[in-house]
Amino acid sequence: MAAAFNEITVRVLARTVVDRQAVREWLDEMGANEFEIPSEETVSDPALLVALAAKQCYMAFQPGLNPNVNKVRKDMVEYLDNVLKQRHGSVLEHAVFSFGVNGCSRVFTGEMNRHRAGVGISERSMRYIRYTNIKFWMPECFRDEEGDTSAILEKKRLSRERLTAQFASQEDMMAFFAEVWKEELAPESTFHAKKVLTSAFRRGIGMGVATGGVWSLNLRALRHVIALRTDEGAEEEIAHVFKKVGKIMLAQVPELFGDFKEVNGVLVPEYWKV
Ligand SMILES: Cc1cc2nc3c(=O)[nH]c(=O)nc-3n(C[C@H](O)[C@H](O)[C@H](O)COP(=O)(O)OP(=O)(O)OC[C@H]3O[C@@H](n4cnc5c(N)ncnc54)[C@H](O)[C@@H]3O)c2cc1C
């Protein structure tokens, strides 16, 4: 099979869910009987968890529960906006989203995996998985755009062809290795032997090869990475992925991502580094 171009997909595999029954019991145990838990339709679960964690710090569920607190913000969106404004970002660490990303390259994973604070990483192995059909993501700067001059279109066409040919040649290399080492790669051979060889073969594959992984980030880390990686200075593949992630977060947790505004395709937060 010839090396082929693929798109990158980003899916939310899991996200924080609040157990409302347990929350009710927890609130009542603390004497916060007047606090009404907002419905899922009014406040998203990840945002609710953040708000609950924040409110319990000062026992600010209802006036008088803590004698130092005689008024509380009832509007959850307003309350959470103030959490962001005050940079009380640590409470955002309670809620987590897990993303399944398919078709991204090692260019992406190399940059993504630099984000360590609040991030869980499971990168697809190229030591255990032997690549036979090589796919890759075509950089946007090699894709035709409206308004491109014929000279630019020609450069882009030549670049796409060259990149495709390069991966096709790497696919041939993988087939060559598989033939040379066929006894060691036979089904009855040990997994260890296959692993050693697979790791050696991958050294000839370009870092643009399509792979994937699962990344779980808490909301504080998500805000930081979205702001950093959709910036104009960011590498185009990670920006491509994080613009998708940013849109997902704006739609799913508007209470804590609503301050991000899209300016010429860049997601710019009102509150930096909470
Ligand atoms: C445009 C761009 C170009 C880049 N170019 C290069 C490059 O050429 N070479 C290169 O090596 N890297 C490069 N990077 C990667 C960059 O240096 C960071 O490693 C990466 O963006 C991870 O971000 P972070 O440091 O904020 O870490 P995260 O893990 O996302 O941490 C979030 C925040 O937590 C805090 N934090 C995390 N870890 C610690 C710690 N150990 N001690 C104290 N505080 C901590 C910091 O405030 C940090 O900003 C580049 C990044 C960008 C966006």
Give the span between the Cα atoms of 23 and 195, in whole angstroms. 48
- What does the pLDDT read at residue 5? 84
**What average pLDDT does the segment 255-273 reach?**
93
pTM: 0.94
Is residue 50 scored above 90 in pLDDT?
yes
Q: Is 176 helix (H, G, I), strand (E, B) or coil?
A: helix
Coil, strand, or helix at residue 123? strand
Per-residue pLDDT tens over the stretch 161-220: 999 999 999 999 999 999 999 999 999 999 999 999 999 999 999 999 999 999 999 999
Give yes or no for residue 116 having a pLDDT over 80: yes
Q: Which two tokens stand for residue 125?
A: 């192995």
Does the pLDDT at position 17 exceed 90? yes
Please tell me the residue having the least CA distance from ligand 1 atom 6.
111
Q: Indicate whether residue 232 lines ligand 1 (CB < 6 A).
A: no
Q: Assess whether pLDDT exceeds 80 at residue 233.
A: yes
In the predicted structure, residue 74 carries a pLDDT above the cut 90: no
Best residue for ligand 1 mutational test, from 112, 115, 218, 236 (most atoms within 8 Å of Cβ): 115
Q: Is the pLDDT of residue 265 over 70?
A: yes
Q: Which domains does the chain have, with CATH numbers?
A: 1-13+96-274 (3.30.70.3180), 17-93 (no CATH)
Query: Considering only CA atoms, which residue is closest to atom 4 of ligand 1?
Result: 234
Contact between 104 and 241 (Cβ < 8 Å):
yes
Q: What angle do CA 175, 180, 186 make, to 5 degrees?
A: 85
Q: Specify the long-range contacts of residues 20-28, CB closer than 8 Å, at least 24 apart.
A: 23/52, 27/61
Measured in Å, how far apart are the chain's first and last C-alpha atoms? 48
Decide: 223 and 270 in contact? Cβ < 8 Å.
Answer: no
Q: Is the pLDDT of residue 89 over 60?
A: yes
Is residue 267 predicted with pLDDT exceeding 80?
Answer: yes
Q: Does pLDDT of 64 surpass 70?
A: yes
CA distances (Å), origin 274, targets 24, 60, 65, 130, 241: 29, 21, 28, 42, 22
CB of residue 11 inside a 6 A radius of ligand 1? no
CA of 115 to the centre of ligand 1 (A): 6
Residue 58 — very low, low, confident or very high, per pLDDT cuts 50/70/90?
A: very high
Q: What DSSP state is assigned to residue 35?
A: P
What's the 246 CA to ligand 1 centre distance in angstroms?
19
Q: CB–CB of 200/103 below 8 Å?
A: no
Helices (H) and strands (E) counted in the chain, each on its own, are 9, 8
Q: What is the reported pLDDT for 4? A: 80
Cβ of 228 less than 6 Å from ligand 1: yes
CA 268 to CA 98: how far, in whole Å? 22
Gap from CA of 234 to ligand 1 centroid (Å): 12
Whether the per-residue pLDDT at 1 is higher than 70: the answer is no
Q: Which atom of ligand 1 is nearest to the CA of 119?
A: 29
CA-proximal residue: ligand 1, atom 42 (nearest)? 117
Mean pLDDT, the chain, as a whole number?
A: 96
CA of 208 relative to ligand 1 center, distance in Å? 22
